[in-house]
Amino acid sequence: MKAKRHLVIDENYPIGHDIDRFFEDAHDHDYYEFLYIIRGKAINVVNNDIQMLDKGCLLAIRPSDVHFIKKIENVDDTFEFFNIPVPKEYMQRQYDKCISLKDMIENSEIPRCVYLSNTELGVLAGKAINLISLIPSEERNFLYFCLVKELCSCMIECDHIKNQSCPQWFSALIREMDNIEPEEITYDMILEKACVSKSVLCKTFKKVIGMTPSSYINKKKMEKAYSMVISEENSFTEIASELGYGSYTHFSREFVKEFGTTPKGIRDRK
């Protein structure tokens, strides 16, 4: 997975507080980032793996991690989180003081994730909101790094380590599907490559990405359809045929369901 954007830390250390905001482009940072979930569920697509996020999760994202946060389909819960950027040099000073912290954060393929209790979550959310309300100043920076230090402590002290990723076979399957053209993917192909029963396959798809294998295939087709529609190189009938839809009517119906408008409606916006 390649980063499309490289994010640089702001000298004022702004705190992110986002509600139902998802990031479509994979990115990395020139800084560390603590991210904790206040409510809802989402997926962290990171380093060619999939990491489930839900209420109470605290993640330590490293500069080298390439990731984006994706909505879980058919889940209507509000997704709210805070993200706290941390300069590399400050994190290195914490590592120098506590080698076990470095081991916990650095020695894993995906970001370390622990559970916060409701009390811890409420306290950390309150401190972040208070910092957002303060103008840049020495006092504000002092309180900011007090919060960062507290988050470092939580990574060590939390008793409950979250099950960090979905089943390994599922992550491998999704990576493989990403390298296959959507029109070539079939349900039988997915089942064969997964090497699990139909019931396990369907339950895992629903649990991890919130949709059935068939819906997943159709969504991948729709993603390609969108790029083909805006390119204006093919007629809508040709696009429908190339993606394996039996008729333009079927293709158009699925397109409207996914994007809320017809292919013509998308092309006319350009």
Give the domain ranges of the chain.
Answer: 5-157, 168-269
- Is 82 in contact with 38 (CB distance < 8 Å)? yes
What's the pLDDT at 162? 58
What's the pLDDT at 185? 94
What's the pLDDT at 75? 62
- For residue 184, is it left (φ>0), alpha (ψ between -120 and 50) or beta? alpha
What's the pLDDT at 191? 94
The model carries a pTM of 0.67
For 5-157, the fitting CATH number among 3.30.70.1450, 2.30.110.10, 2.60.120.280, 3.10.20.30 is 2.60.120.280
What's the pLDDT at 24? 67
Packing angle of the helix pair 88-97, 138-157 (nearest 10 deg)? 50
CATH code that applies to domain 168-269: 1.10.10.60
What's the pLDDT at 163? 53
- Is 56 in contact with 118 (CB distance < 8 Å)? yes
Segment holding 70, helix H or strand E: strand 67-70
Is the dihedral angle over the CA atoms 134, 137, 140, 144 positive or is it negative?
A: positive
CA distances from 52 to 67, 70, 136 (A): 13, 10, 34
- Is 89 in contact with 82 (CB distance < 8 Å)? no
Question: Rounded to an integer, what distance in angstroms lies between the CA atom of residue 143 and that of residue 138?
Answer: 9
Q: In the chain, what is the straight-line distance between the N-terminal and C-terminal CA atoms, in Å?
A: 29
What's the pLDDT at 76? 64
What's the pLDDT at 201? 92
Is the dihedral angle over the CA atoms 263, 265, 266, 270 positive or is it negative?
A: positive
- What does each of the 270 residues of the chain score in pLDDT, given as a tens digit? 777 889 999 988 999 998 887 766 789 999 999 999 999 888 888 888 888 888 999 999 999 999 999 887 666 678 999 999 999 999 999 999 999 999 989 988 889 989 888 889 999 999 999 999 999 999 999 999 999 999 999 998 875 555 555 777 887 888 788 889 999 999 999 999 999 999 999 988 887 777 899 988 998 898 899 888 888 788 999 999 999 998 999 999 999 988 888 998 888 876
Q: Please tell me whether residue 5 adopts helix, strand or coil conformation.
A: strand
- 207 beta partners: none
